[in-house]
Structure 1
């Protein structure tokens, strides 16, 4: 179990970083099943992913996307086949959905990565139990000073309250990728420790 924080300069650098992780994931595992829900996030992750893919070709022929934000045309433009882009809802049980619709011998029916964000109130907008804990890795993208209080709660709380994002601490691999504005919610020493130089 690990929740790793990485503090980057601004939302543009956060977007570049997350896009690079995603593109490498797709290249390294060409049968990846990935969920993306970034509708409430200012960091332009999808724009940067398109630029990254334009510079470094990716074979999307076996990639499957759980599309929480209704961005089907975007994923088609990337090269994901139409029949491998699935519009899913907040409360969708991803394990059952994948077993019914996506599982193949190659991908073994495992959700590899979920990319999500918090809103300013700390809401995830992807059901924790059904959508996040089943993923092998979670990338939690948080930018903007309006989210610093949610970041503070995420860091301090231990899952014994009603603040659902804190329950992600029970997940085996969560990478929290923040810009400096959102990271203002972290204690000063912690913020310094999790800057790009150390993280």
Structure 2
């Protein structure tokens, strides 16, 4: 169980970093099933993903995307086959959805990556229990000073409150990618550590 914070200077750097992780995931595991839901996020992750893929080609022929934000045209342009882009809602159980619609011999029906964010009020884009906990890895993208209180709660709370994002502390691998503005919610020494050692 690990929640790793990475603090970058601004939302553009957060977008570049997140896009790079995603592109490498697609390259390293060509049968990836990934959920992407960034409707509460200002970092231009998808724009950077397109630029990254234009520079470093990716074979999307076996990639499946859970499209929480109705971005079908984007994934289509990226090269994901039309039949492998699935509209899914906040409340859908990701595991059941995959079993019903996506499971193949190659990908074994495993949700590999979920990329999500939280709102200014600290609500997740994807249900923690129905969506995020089901993924092998979660990337939580959080930018902007208006989210610093949500970041503070995410860091401080232990998952036994009504603040659902804190439940992710029980997940085996969560990467929280922050800009400096959102990271103001972290204690100063923690913010410095995750900036100096991992940025």
Question: What TM-score comes out, normalization by structure 2 length?
Answer: 0.99
- Contiguous gaps of at least 5 residues in structure 2: none
SS of 2:141 mapped into structure 1: strand
Residue equivalent to 1:186: 186
Judge conservation of contact 1:10–1:179 (CA < 8 Å) in 2: yes
Residue equivalent to 1:14: 14
For each residue in 1:106-136, what CA deviation from the matched residue of structure 2 results, as whole angstroms up to 9, or x when unmatched?
Answer: 0010000000000000000211111010100
Matches of 1:33 and 1:52, distance apart in 2: 19
RMSD of Structure 2 on Structure 1 (CA)? 0.8
Residue equivalent to 2:68: 68
For each residue in 1:131-188, what CA deviation from the matched residue of structure 2 results, as whole angstroms up to 9, or x when unmatched?
Answer: 0101000000000000000000000000121000000000000000000000000000
Matches of 1:43 and 1:102, distance apart in 2: 29
Judge conservation of contact 1:8–1:196 (CA < 8 Å) in 2: no
| Equivalence map 1:139-158=2 (5 Å) | 139-158=139-158
Judge conservation of contact 2:145–2:184 (CA < 8 Å) in 1: yes
Judge conservation of contact 1:168–1:174 (CA < 8 Å) in 2: yes
| Equivalence map 1:97-108=2 (5 Å) | 97-108=97-108
Matches of 1:161 and 1:139, distance apart in 2: 22
| Structure 1 residue 196: Cα displacement | 5.2
Matches of 1:68 and 1:80, distance apart in 2: 15
| Equivalence map 1:42-81=2 (5 Å) | 42-81=42-81
Q: How many matched pairs?
A: 199
Cα distance change of structure 1 residues 196 and 25 upon mapping to structure 2, 3 Å threshold:
farther
Matches of 1:134 and 1:112, distance apart in 2: 9
Residue equivalent to 1:171: 171
Residue equivalent to 2:160: 160
- Contiguous gaps of at least 5 residues in structure 1: none
Matches of 1:37 and 1:53, distance apart in 2: 19
Cα distance change of structure 1 residues 196 and 36 upon mapping to structure 2, 3 Å threshold:
farther
Question: What TM-score comes out, normalization by structure 1 length?
Answer: 0.99
For each residue in 1:55-76, what CA deviation from the matched residue of structure 2 results, as whole angstroms up to 9, or x when unmatched?
Answer: 0000000000000000000000
Judge conservation of contact 2:39–2:125 (CA < 8 Å) in 1: no
